[in-house]
A and B are shown apart, each in its own frame.
Chain A
């Protein structure tokens, strides 16, 4: 199938290592942030979200950190697996407009064996 993100920044990690994907957001009024994973030929898949009243949230193998001072988000994936290979997007929105997501440029994660 066609590739998503042919010219995106790429992060290459070895299987079993931890991955950290960073994202800068643009709107200081945004109060809800989401990380999506997009595999080739598929739509974005929800990974984890965080609201602006938190600075950290953990899921299964994933952690999102939010730094509102510098408008920065990060996604940490523990014990990265080959199935984690995909393009990762952060998205921001303001409560009440949560369908109007503004996406970042994306990062391609490549997991090597």
Chain B
């Protein structure tokens, strides 16, 4: 176990709805990043948060947004859900200063119907 926890584990939403996914980072980790993993593919970087600010973003539209809280936990929000948003959403945390690998949570499986 990495100590990174995500909720919920599974979620079904209707096209056009909004969704919020949550992540608690490993104790002591101050940087959180989010990835989208479509079935059969590797994870794709969405964005990263450090000190409660977005600090790097991948090729995702603005309807993907996030937050980081003072306790380093994070949320991923997706508005106007599309069918192609169906994927496993992964959260990873690390200690920025250590410049080492990121530890992943178990993911949230989002299905958009």
Contacts and interface: CB of A to CB of B under 8 A. Distances in A.
Interface of A: 2-8, 32, 34, 36, 41-46, 49, 89, 91, 95-106
B94 interface: yes
A52 to B, nearest CB: 13
20 contacts: A4-B39, A5-B40, A5-B41, A6-B39, A8-B40, A43-B106, A44-B104, A45-B2, A89-B43, A98-B101, A99-B32, A99-B56, A99-B92, A99-B102, A100-B33, A100-B45, A101-B33, A101-B92, A101-B102, A103-B43
A97 B56 contact: yes
A44 B39 contact: no
A101 B40 contact: no
B43 A98 contact: no
Chain B interface bracket (under 10, 10 to 19, 20 to 34, 35 or more): 20 to 34
Contacts, number: 76
A98 B42 contact: no
A104 B94 CA distance: 21
B101 A100 contact: no
B81 interface: no
Contact of A98 (B44, B88, B102): B102
A96 B37 CA distance: 23
Given A43-B105, A98-B100, A105 B41 contact: yes
Contacts of A97: 56
Contacts of A98: 94, 99-102
Contacts of A95: 99
A8 B40 CA distance: 6
Contacts of B90: 43-44
